[in-house]
Amino acid sequence: MVLADVIKRWKQISGHEAYLATGTDEHGMKIQQAALKEGLPPKEFCDNNANKFKDLAEHANISHDFFIRTTDQEHKDVVQQFWLLLKARAPEGLGLYKGKHEGWYCVSDECFYPEDLVQPSVSPQTGRKMMVSKESGNEVEWVSEDTWFFPLSKYKEKLLQFYDENPTWIQPADRMNEVRNWVQDHLEDLSVTRPATRLNWGIKDPEDPNNTIYVWVDALVNYLTTSGFGTKWQVGDKDTGIWPADMHVVGKDIIRFHAIYWPALLMAAGLPLPKKILCHNHWTMSNRKMSKSVGNVVNPFFAVQRWGLDALRYFLMRNGSYKSDSDYANEYIAAIYEKDLQANVGNLFNRIARVRKLAWSTTEAVKFAKAGRFENPTEILPTSSPMFLSLEKSLQSLPEEIRTHMDHNQVNHALHRIFSLLQDTNRFISETAPWKIVKEQDANARTRLNWVIYRSAEALRIAGIFLQPVMPEKATQLLDGLGVQPERRTVEYARADADLDYGTEAAIVSEKPDPFSSMFPPVAGIKLPDAEVVAGMEGPKNRLGRVVVALAQEAQKAREAEKTQDAISTSKALLVPYEVHHVKQYHAWMQDPDIQEATASEPMTLDEEYENQQSWRTSSDKLTFIVCAPLTEHVSLVKASTADADPLMRGDINFFLYPFESDDEDTETGTEGWVTGEVDVMIASPSHRGQGLGQAAVCALLAYIQKHLDEILAEYGAQELKGLMVKIKEGNKGSRALFEKLGFVQKGEVNYFGEILMTIEWDEILRRDWWKRAEGGFKEVKYEILKMYSKTLSLSFLFGSAASEVIHGAVVFSRHGDRTTKWYGAQSLTSLGAEQNFQVGRDYRDRYLASDSQYRILGISEDEYKPSQIFASAPDQGILMNTATAFLQGFYPPLADLDPEIASQTLNNGSESQAPLDGYQYVRLHTINDNSPDTIWIKGDDACPKYVTASKSFMKSDVFSQREEDTKEFYEQFYDVLSDGVYNLRPENMTYKNAYNIFDLVNVARIHNSTSPARNISNADLVQLRTLADSAELGQNWNESDPARAIGAETLSGAILNQLNETVTSQGKLKFSLFAGSYDTFLAFFGLADLLDVSPNFYGLPDYASTMSFELFTDDDTDSFPSDPEADLRVRWLFRNSTAGDLETYPLFGTGEDSLPWSRFVTEIEKRAITDVGDWCTKCGAAEDFCAAYKDDDESAEGESENKTSKKGGMSNSVAGVIGAMVTLGVVAIVGAAAFVIMRRKRTAPAGDKSSIRSGSNDGSAAKV
């Protein structure tokens, strides 16, 4: 609806009369069944839904002129009239005829599919076998019935001729091709009625009430109803009102109905065809189709309340696409909200119309323009400053570009262009600095000032006019704020200098304006569910506050309450809830082809398995347990990862609920609320089968169900469990015998999937003899799960769980932002990358420096940089130095951005001194060259031969070789896509050995190269490339049995410990440390710190600008550093993935605790850390020059106790624990055989490598950047 509304509003401001019709399609089998399930008459069910859609249209500010319901009597009359027109063509062989129809019918899609467009499938949620449509993926059923047909096949040539004569009738062009191909290859006559005995809810054939008119004939005719057909005009009339429609706006799932069925029906009735069809794609959630069963459907009412209507409309129009599905996520909305709306529209409006001092006004600036004061700008502008004219090209060209984009329905392209202008305008203001011009005294100063304000206001005015269709309310607020007259808000005036009668006096705001009163106020943490954010809102403008904090605290309490669940113990088996730490073993089981065959399952990736586990554990229609070896002693509590550790896991058992279906049609009524349960059990290893383990698991499960039946039914929303069923492969004699012993009997023959169905009534199973024995051996025990940290309830940087704690210091390790590809050698930080690192610095400023943050570091200087409080370091590589610099620019921005008064000083002689660059703060950055021993502390794996050997061992492993073989064809398909743009790419480069590099090149191209064929790589393939890159890089940087792979994390741990210890020993004088590092160090640390068992997300590469933070804090509110650090200080670890992620706390070292006492943290990290350069030299077998200084000492100390805090090889005093690092790039770079080329200063290289340029060949052995 939003897209259609935007197009209508565009036509209106372009001077056209435009109407928008929308409504609800309310007939059909889908509605009939849904109403029955709800226990409502169909009309009442439709009334409820229609009201919801009307409310949604109102909430979304849809300016519709018609809202039609297909249950309206006027529409029913028009449908029947149209129907008789189709029958009237029968004598010519072009109208309706009777026949018998058999085929695959889809209730969800409300259409038949030919045999070649259906296929067998298995439900990923339940394992149920079914036939589905290849197009939609929805289930189909075989139907045979007498019906009326529309001779669609006879319109084939007419349709093809029409398409050829109107090649742009459907937009985009690939949909036009799709439709044409479908007509060419699949066109069949269309069944257009359903027997009234099967489908009663619909419009009846006026001459044959035993037949109900096909819902899509009924639905499509709504367009004629709204245009007045049958009441205001008839076939043959010259005046047909607003018909034909100028455009149908439809989703890709209904393109066939509108582009094939509808034109053929209109041809048959002798009516003109619509002039155009605009087909949009769908919105997905995490690249998955939104589905109520999966639980990933966005509530539009909540989303509107959360983000604001116009912000949400803007996001949908900016990110929506005609070419592919678009992903919906709060992270994406937040990024666009901040970057486009707050930083561009809101910021520019405030700079022009809401200044702190009455220094200028748009009224005065426009008057200067009207008076001709700007006719010769070169006379008033300094010739040495071309920046004063830098906006002119965009102001002149933009209007025509926007018209072209909008007239071609390319709304997203238009928005990108509008916001490019606004970015240029913000830059224009920053560079011209009107706050400085206002202080200048020369004769042209006021004219120069008004030139800057006028050109900025013109850009804002033009943008505001063009934004009206997308953001009607905010655009009105903007134009009102500029004083633009209502009649001058049309496209005619959307050009430079077209309106010289607007303007307002600047609104003077306080020194610290309330952000919630701004055009685009702050929003809540992006990971908080919409429903909980809305529940915490005090009003539409206040999206943050105490209520939201309370929500987070309540959610934390709820998580704590859910730490224990039920497990089931019997003499032969232990059943525990299926949790995250079980997934790796379960995934390993499911790779067995025999198990796949026995369970009719398709293999999943590990990531998919994690997603599946979360879905199963949270679904109300599934009960799932892991079957383990029996307990060896009587206990009342089982802790996760003890009795259910991987070696003790035996299989799984599941219980699914389905709505009851009776074989007797006479008993259909009165069965509402009845359900059938399906039991599914799998014992993985053949060595554990045949010992009664499966039977014990089934009996224990049924005993548990019997005891908790009321709770299970209540959660599902059912009233009665009628029976049980089990599906077993025909040849699985063991499973058949098991269930026959329990009383199950076979029902029917072997099905399409080679399975037999066995069933039993619930009442019957309760009467069986084995039941008492099952209850006797059955015992429930408490099961304590690992303390996990939910990502759905975090509140970004601003909120947390403890209100009374005090932060005394923090150490942040940051990855660089977006950069150029690795393929061509040395990389550099892009403007996007610098912006990402700047954003991260600004976010940490909000957390650690802002006076109103509950996480402010005690005593830290909020605005002015104090060298004694801050330490920052990076290797002397451009990309990492720039990373740290950008971060620090956000952490301590120019003083003028904080308070202009601080950035200037009045001298004794009365003159004023202005700090350069608006008071730019020169935060000291310690850089380390490769020849310094301090370079090891962040990049401990660099120049470490044993790391290289260990990393290569992974690439020589059977796992690696098998994965390389399995992915050979997958990688080969991308060679042709990439080879044209990468001059030295060779086919042999396209293997799993270069997994990260291939992904990197693809991703960089998709981000930066608009002409690259890589942009055509599907999202699914990109995700697969990323997943493979994740596995390859983790394998090279972590293996518990091969510690040398994690040596980079060991040295990082030493550096972190050093910095925190400096804060402690200085009693809080050192408050914040920053290091720039690489992704391989992140991965190694994830493994070293036991984070892989905490969340599956730690198995993957951290994105660009990801950070980890170590916070030193006390629980009590205090205004001084604790006198007893051992007793009072605690440390917690936080991680943030990219700029879109939230900073979230995770437990380190397998402790399950979100923070550790200082002394325990030191003990744990010292177990894993290298704190001595000599120790590093020995462990690496390194030949670096600086290692020679430790060689003799190390050898003479052989046999002595190890002293990791020894000063002989510790961090140098001059650097105070600085870590030098080489960085790896974010999520983007493909490198092939000659890739992994690293430019670096020469070190003493290992034997055989004397070059200052390392070529990693193909084995991944070179350092990662």
Q: How much is the pLDDT for 1019? A: 72
Closest listed residue to residue 466, CA positions, set 366, 369, 345: 345
- Chain-centre distance of CA 927, in angstroms? 36
The SS3 call for residue 67 is: strand
Dihedral sign for Cα 1025, 1026, 1031, 1037, please. Answer: positive
Helical pair 300-307 and 309-319, crossing angle rounded to 10 deg: 110
DSSP H helices in 849-914: 878-891, 895-898
Q: What is the mean pLDDT of the chain?
A: 80
What domains can you pick out in the chain, each with its CATH number? 2-68 (3.40.50.620), 69-280 (3.40.50.620), 331-509 (1.10.730.10), 564-784 (3.40.630.30)
Q: How much is the pLDDT for 91? A: 61
* Tokens representing residue 627 in the block: 């079957």
Overall residue count recorded for the chain in this entry:
1265
- 893 bridge partner residues: none
Which whole-number Å values give the CA distances from 1211 to 795, 936, 1057, 1206, in the listed order? 37, 9, 11, 10
Q: How much is the pLDDT for 265? A: 94
Closest listed residue to residue 1209, CA positions, set 1183, 1181, 1176, 1179: 1176
- Contact criterion met (CB below 8 Å) for 1204 and 1169: yes
Q: How much is the pLDDT for 589? A: 92
Q: How much is the pLDDT for 765? A: 82
- Chain-centre distance of CA 25, in angstroms? 31
Gap between the Cα atoms of 516 and 741, Å rounded:
68
- Contact criterion met (CB below 8 Å) for 141 and 113: no
Q: If you average pLDDT over each of 90-104, 555-569, 944-958, 1251-1265, which comes out highest?
A: 944-958
**Measured CA angle at 1249 (ends 1245, 1252), to 5 deg:** 70
Gap between the Cα atoms of 14 and 642, Å rounded:
70
pLDDT tens-digit series, residues 634-680? 888 888 878 888 889 999 999 998 888 765 544 445 567 788 999 99
Q: Which residue has the higher pLDDT, 551 or 902?
A: 902
Gap between the Cα atoms of 118 and 130, Å rounded:
10
Q: How much is the pLDDT for 746? A: 92
Residue type (1 letter), 289 = K
Q: Which residue has the higher pLDDT, 274 or 876?
A: 274
Q: Which residue has the higher pLDDT, 1214 or 899?
A: 899
Gap between the Cα atoms of 1243 and 1241, Å rounded:
6
Q: pLDDT tier at 274 (50, 70, 90 boundaries)? A: very high
Q: How much is the pLDDT for 383? A: 66
Gap between the Cα atoms of 789 and 615, Å rounded:
17
- Contact criterion met (CB below 8 Å) for 775 and 1023: no
The SS3 call for residue 245 is: coil
- Contact criterion met (CB below 8 Å) for 150 and 189: yes
Which whole-number Å values give the CA distances from 376 to 386, 437, 503, 1001, in the listed order? 14, 19, 22, 49
Q: How much is the pLDDT for 1075? A: 93
Q: Torsions phi, psi of 772, nearest 5?
A: -65, -35
Residues contacting 37, CB < 8 A, separation 6+: 659, 672
Q: What percent of the chain has pLDDT over 90?
A: 34
Q: pLDDT tier at 683 (50, 70, 90 boundaries)? A: very high
Q: What percent of the chain has pLDDT over 70?
A: 82
pLDDT tens-digit series, residues 474-485? 999 999 999 999
Q: Which residue has the higher pLDDT, 522 or 1211?
A: 522
Gap between the Cα atoms of 366 and 804, Å rounded:
53
Gap between the Cα atoms of 366 and 457, Å rounded:
9
Q: Which residue has the higher pLDDT, 974 or 501?
A: 501
Given a cut of 80, whether residue 703 has pLDDT beyond it is: yes
Q: Which residue has the higher pLDDT, 820 or 317?
A: 317
Gap between the Cα atoms of 24 and 51, Å rounded:
10
Gap between the Cα atoms of 1105 and 1079, Å rounded:
10
- Chain-centre distance of CA 1050, in angstroms? 32
- Contact criterion met (CB below 8 Å) for 63 and 20: yes
Given a cut of 50, whether residue 721 has pLDDT beyond it is: yes
Closest listed residue to residue 496, CA positions, set 397, 348, 415, 406: 397
Q: How much is the pLDDT for 316? A: 92
Q: How much is the pLDDT for 797? A: 41
The whole-model pTM stands at 0.48
pLDDT tens-digit series, residues 1213-1225? 323 322 222 222 2
Q: Which residue has the higher pLDDT, 788 or 1254?
A: 788
- 811 bridge partner residues: 1073, 1110
Q: Which residue has the higher pLDDT, 381 or 843?
A: 843
Q: Torsions phi, psi of 548, nearest 5?
A: -65, -40
Given a cut of 60, whether residue 776 has pLDDT beyond it is: no
Pairing of strands 674-683, 720-729: parallel
Given a cut of 70, whether residue 296 has pLDDT beyond it is: no
Gap between the Cα atoms of 1047 and 359, Å rounded:
59
Question: Picking from 288-302, 589-603, 639-653, 958-972, which range would have the lowest pLDDT averaged per residue?
Answer: 288-302
Burial per residue of 995-1006, b for 16 or more beta-carbon CB atoms within 10 angstroms, e otherwise: bbbbbbbbbbbb
Q: How much is the pLDDT for 599? A: 78
pLDDT tens-digit series, residues 28-53? 888 988 888 888 999 999 999 999 88
E strand or H helix that includes residue 459: helix 445-467
Q: pLDDT tier at 1254 (50, 70, 90 boundaries)? A: very low
